[in-house]
A = this chain, B = another copy of it.
Amino acid sequence: MKLATLKDGTPDGPLVVVSSAGTRAVAGAGIAPDLITALRDWPHAEPALRALADALDAGRAPGSFAFDPAACAAPLPRAPQWLDASAFLNHGRLMEQAFSTPPIPDFDTVPVMYQGASDDFLGPHDDVPLPSEADGIDFEGEFGVICGPVRMAATPEEALAAVRLVVQINDWSLRALGPREMKSGFGFLQAKPSTAFAPIAVTPDELGPAWREGRVQMRLAVQWNGERFGEPHGGEMNFHFGELVAHAARTRRLTAGCIVGSGTVSNAARSAGSACIAERRVIEKIDQGEIRTGFMRFGDRVRMQAMLDDGRAGPFGVIDQPVVSA
């Protein structure tokens, strides 16, 4: 099942069910006014939304309309929590070199995760307003999950079973501000402006074999100003999403609608390219002796789209957005 949220000026926006082909949509308002309400009442809302999706695919959903990704907000325009890991250790090890920060304790065995702002997410085609090019504007292509309720101290198995929806994320980062915030020990704050999401959130079953071992088994194809930047594969994630969600819930309960991210998708093979500029820069330094790539300028665009192993486009739709001066 594919779900999305339209922009209508309200904080949560109206929920729509999207057809399997991603071309048609129908309002979910008869079942739940918005996605957060559906998630809070998932045992009732999910079967009703699936029945509506079936009717939409069969051409029997009254009031259906052409689905327009440009009219979409993030699937959850705001969420109770947004917790982003760094679960691709290849990326983390490279970033230690990029930021000249000390090795993270237990990095191979305990996930690292920061709490991000969750009140003001960006839609897939929204402008990204930022204050200064000097802050080192960077994209970060990721996958993530939206959870149902998770009890405090849940096991990874319980946590994985609480995954309701899978999403595709651009976790905007300001690289000039990151190292000092890391060295403070208090974590990222100014370095992490509003995060953006692809238009369509999908139930795990919709991914078929591309949801396996608690990981999104797809490549994330990233283009910067129309040029290929990388297409690392999500299957190389070193912790699975159940482990990440359980880490988040170690000392707190998670209410329905919390979002947990993978961190930047990253592969050991250099041929995969990168899903963020900072990683390419440190690879340039390691492999070629000097950094050749700058960060983003106002007016630049980034495009991200998940790709299945057979070359077909993934189900999340496209993130394609420009950076602008705030």
Query: Chain A residues in contact with chain B, CB under 8 A?
Result: 78, 80-81, 83, 86, 101-102, 104-107, 110, 112-120, 129-131, 135, 152-153, 174, 177, 180-194, 247-248, 250-253, 255, 258, 326
Contacts and interface: CB of A to CB of B under 8 A. Distances in A.
A78 B40 CA distance: 16
A111 to B, nearest CB: 9
A101 B185 contact: yes
Contacts of A250: 131, 177, 190
Nearest to A80: B119
Given A106-B180, A189-B248, 12 more contacts: A80-B119, A81-B119, A112-B186, A114-B115, A114-B187, A181-B185, A182-B186, A183-B185, A187-B187, A190-B247, A190-B250, A194-B252
Number of copies: 2
Contacts of A112: 184-186
Nearest to A82: B115
A153 B131 contact: yes
Q: Closest 5 CB pairs between A and B?
A: A187-B187, A182-B185, A80-B119, A114-B186, A112-B184
